[in-house]
Amino acid sequence: MSLEAIVFDRVAGKCSVKILDQLLLPYQTQYLPINSICDGYRAIKSMQVRGAPAIAIVGVLSVLVECQLLLQESFVKTQTFYDLTQLEKNFNERLDLLLSSRPTAVNLSNAITELRALISEDVKATYDSLFEYACNIIDNDYADNFTMGENGAKHLLEQLDEQNFEGDFGVLTICNTGSLATSGYGTALGVIRSLYARTRQGKEVSEPKKAKKYGSQMVRVFPLETRPYNQGSRLTAYELLHDEIPSTLITDSSISYLVSTSKIPIKAAFVGADRIVKNGDTANKIGTYQLSIICKHFGIKFYVVAPTTTFDANTETGDKIIVEERPPNEFRFVQGTLIDSANAAPVVNEYKIPLKASVGITPLDMPVWNPSFDITPYQHIDGIISEKGVFTKAEDGKFHLETQFQ
């Protein structure tokens, strides 16, 4: 099993990039090369790579490898789409294309704004700046994920401590927010990884006092399958199994019943974000809003986990966020891998490649509405966990994130 969504070989002047094709998971591990902005655009739009931080990283790397081509004399002689006398203009047009790939996640848009400032008419200088930027975006995302994980895990364990709660507890999560959606470790799933590391029995944890205290506690994860694209059942389940974190997959429609009947008390929901605007309203995978309503109803803490690269400094409130609508066929058909029910294994061809299948589940002429995201109002959010800390609401019932948006 591979949890490496993006493989970046960072030798300046000879970089290479490949991505794990997430449309084939969990049955097939196949990497695709990214050699140009067009490759990046296609991979992002088709959701071969997905998750706000991973989308931004692949976007940036696609610009870097395209610029690398311009350093090669043979390419420059044969290229048709670049006018090297108008490099800045050409690059900016290509960045517009990339930006149009997926509109809701702000990380790509934030990164593209920063990339535009690095482009000049000098190819070598542009390449050097892009190379440095690409290395930083990956390294910072990776480091921030661990910090967020620790921030979130500590916060919940302190809350449970204040309630004098002891024993095993459950957490909910939606979509995929782990290694596959980021440079590694993850956002909401990173918090869950840190919670597991701190609570699992018989393992060392970083703070000996807490080890004693939480040594008998265990977290159990309930990921939602996340219709219609099933990031929860395909990707989060894959990551949880990989890390051997105790977990049980549930359908999106089982949350209320689980919460009201579970023997293990459900204590929190951790979700990622595609865009957090100035008042704290948050765009995330479709179904997040309804999860927040259920959490509010049952008094379960609801946390958004995202690096500050997911904060949108230009938008005041969530109603201004553009919500991407995906093609109707992503809803009308279940895309999957053929499984032989007799031995519960994928059916493979002569090259041992699992066979893909597309199965219709609606009348084909039935109009459908397929928004990819929804907006959770800040009123439903108990805390926003970032690499800078855990932001909670003040006495006026509002988040005061002003300083995070500078």
Beta bridge mates, 200: none
Q: Which is nearer to ligand MRU, 130 or 223 (CB)?
A: 223
Q: Which of 21, 39, 141, 274 is flagged as catalytic?
A: 274
Subset of residues 366 to 385 that bind ligand MRU, contact rule: CB under 6 A? 372
Coil/strand/helix, residue 24? coil
Closer by beta carbon to ligand MRU, 62 or else 126:
62
Residue 211 CA: distances (Å) to CA of 44, 96, 168, 208, 324:
41, 50, 14, 5, 44
Name every residue whose Cβ is closer than 8 Å to that of residue 231 and which is 6 or more positions away in sequence: 50, 175, 176, 285
Q: Which residues contact 366 (CB under 8 A, 6 or more apart)?
A: 332
Q: Is 274 a catalytic residue?
A: yes
Contact region for ligand MRU (CB under 6 A) — 136-144, 203-211, 269-277, 289-297?
269-277
φ and ψ at 180, to 5 degrees?
A: -75, -20
- The beta-strand segments (E) located in 65-202 are 169-173
> Residue holding tokens 């919500």?
323
252 is a site residue for ligand MRU (CB under 6 A): no
Pick the stretch among 3-11, 24-32, 44-52, 126-134 that binds ligand MRU (CB under 6 A): 44-52
Binding residue for ligand MRU, selected from 62, 129, 179, 187, defined by CB under 6 A = 187
By CB under 6 A, residue 52 contacts ligand MRU: yes
Which of 53, 170 has the CB closer to ligand MRU?
53
Helix (H) and strand (E) counts for the chain? 13, 16
> Between the CA of residue 306 and those of 22, 276, 284, 312, what are the distances in Å?
21, 8, 11, 12
Q: E-assigned strands of 71-166?
A: none
User: Taking CB under 6 A as the rule, does residue 51 contact ligand MRU?
Assistant: yes
Please state the closest distance from residue 181 (CB atom) to ligand MRU, in A. 4
Measured from the CB atom, is 66 or 239 closer to ligand MRU? 239
Q: Which is nearer to ligand MRU, 189 or 258 (CB)?
A: 189
Residue 274 engages ligand MRU in binding (rule: CB under 6 A): yes
Residue 110: φ, ψ to 5°: -60, -45
Q: How far is the CB of 192 from ligand MRU (least distance, A)?
A: 12
User: 118 CB contacts (<8 Å, ≥6 apart)?
Assistant: 126, 129, 130, 133
| Binding flags for ligand MRU, 2-41, as an x/- string (CB under 6 A) | ----------------------------------------
Residue 285 touches ligand MRU, criterion: CB under 6 A: yes
Q: Kindly identify the residues of this chain, within the stretch 59-88, that bind ligand MRU according to CB under 6 A.
A: none
Residue 299 beta carbon to ligand MRU: minimum distance, rounded to whole angstroms: 23
- Rounded to the nearest 5°, which phi and psi values hold at 159? -60, -45
Say whether residue 309 binds ligand MRU (CB under 6 A): no
Residue 50 binding ligand MRU, by CB under 6 A: yes
**Min. distance of Cβ 203 from ligand MRU in angstroms?**
25
The verdict on 53 binding ligand MRU (CB under 6 A) reads yes
| Strand residues in 109-217 grouped as ranges (E) | 169-173
Residue 225 binds ligand MRU (CB under 6 A): no
For the segment 166-185, give every residue that binds ligand MRU (CB under 6 A).
Answer: 175, 177, 181-182
Q: Tell me how far, at minimum, the Cβ of 68 lies from ligand MRU, in Å.
A: 26
- Evaluate whether 56 touches 137 at the Cβ level (below 8 Å): yes
Closest-by-Cβ residue to ligand MRU is: 272
Residue 282 sits in the site that holds ligand MRU (CB under 6 A): no
Write the CB contacts of 311 (distance below 8 Å, at least 6 apart in sequence).
106, 276, 386, 401, 404, 405
Coil, helix or strand for 288? helix
CA distances from 66 to 71, 81, 121, 195 (A): 9, 12, 15, 40
Q: Residue 141 or residue 382: which is nearer to ligand MRU going by CB?
A: 141
Choosing from 194, 284, 315, 386, the residue that interacts with ligand MRU (CB under 6 A) is 284
Tokens of 93: 């047009």
> For residues 127 and 222, which CB has a smaller minimum distance to ligand MRU in the complex?
222
Our finding on whether 232 is near ligand MRU (CB under 6 A) is: no
Nearest CA-CA partner of 379 in 283, 302, 273 = 302
Give the active site residues.
274
Interface residue list for ligand MRU (CB under 6 A): 50-53, 105, 175, 177, 181-182, 187, 231, 272-274, 284-285, 372
